[in-house]
Amino acid sequence: MKSIIIDDTRLARQELKYLLSEIPSVEVIAEASNAEEGKSLVEEHRPDLIFLDIQMPEKNGFELLETLDYLPEVIFVTAYNNYAIKAFEYNALDYLQKPVKSERLALAIEKVKGKLAHTSTNKYLPQDHKIFVKEGDRCWFINLRDINLFEVSGNYTRIHFDSHAPIIPKSLNSLESKLDPSCFFRANRQQIINLESIEKVEPWFSGTIKLFLKNEIEIELSRRQSVKLKEVMSL
């Protein structure tokens, strides 16, 4: 699996490269000393995995992830233990604390291999996939099928489920590539809806339709998207 190391400390990069050289399934194809350089390398090489430091000058690791359109699997590697919860908010597969132990690194790689193997045979996330969401002091573990609507909110995405609407640090475009189009429909540039959350459909103006979702969410579709939805749902 192709990987990139992003860490502002040269010695830390060297140590990690040495440990990874003992794992045949991992190939380090590039390394970066800051977030901007890391972003360019990720976009150029589109690796399977990045090993990402958190505290770096100018932009930290979390801020880097927020700028990526292509998002590989992520293992955070940091000297600090107080970022673990936030790391998993960003769907990191693992969180390693420096100095990294070879046994712990091997376990993290096994997680990545398992995830990539699943992804290769199942392109989209299953409906029972659980997502960890945190906003302020509140946390949720929710099934993908329970999300009614994904909606653009600045550079992030607001998700609607039950009576809640927290924001997650992912772009709508990056989320769309993981969502099964037989279950989720891109209503417009701003919104993706869960087809199972549609409670009522009404004709609207000039051949368009209006959707009523759970929690009284209303969405008007353009004529083009109305035709697409009818095809998807065989209306």
Over the stretch 83-96, which tens digit does the pLDDT of each residue have? 888 887 777 889 99
pLDDT tens sequence across 27-49? 999 999 999 999 999 989 999 99
Query: Which pLDDT value is given to residue 120?
Result: 62
Contacts of 12 (CB under 8 A, 6+ apart): 53, 77, 98
| 182 vs 194: CA distance, rounded Å | 9
Query: Which pLDDT value is given to residue 121?
Result: 61
Query: Which pLDDT value is given to residue 49?
Result: 96
Q: Residue 192's closest CA among 173, 208, 216, 166? A: 173
Residue 229 identity (one-letter amino acid): L
| 182 vs 232: CA distance, rounded Å | 7
Find the angle CA(179)-CA(181)-CA(182) to the nearest 5 degrees.
Answer: 120
Q: For each of the chain's 235 residues, which pLDDT tens digit applies?
A: 999 999 999 999 999 999 999 999 999 999 999 999 999 999 899 999 999 999 999 899 999 988 887 788 999 999 988 888 888 777 788 999 999 999 999 999 999 998 887 666 667 888 888 888 888 888 898 999 999 999 999 889 999 999 999 999 888 888 888 898 889 999 988 999 999 999 999 888 877 889 999 878 899 888 888 888 888 876 5
| 54 vs 12: CA distance, rounded Å | 13
pTM (two decimals):
0.57
Which domains are delineated in the chain? 2-121 (3.40.50.2300), 130-233 (2.40.50.1020)
**In the chain, what is the straight-line distance between the N-terminal and C-terminal CA atoms, in Å?**
44
| 208 vs 54: CA distance, rounded Å | 47
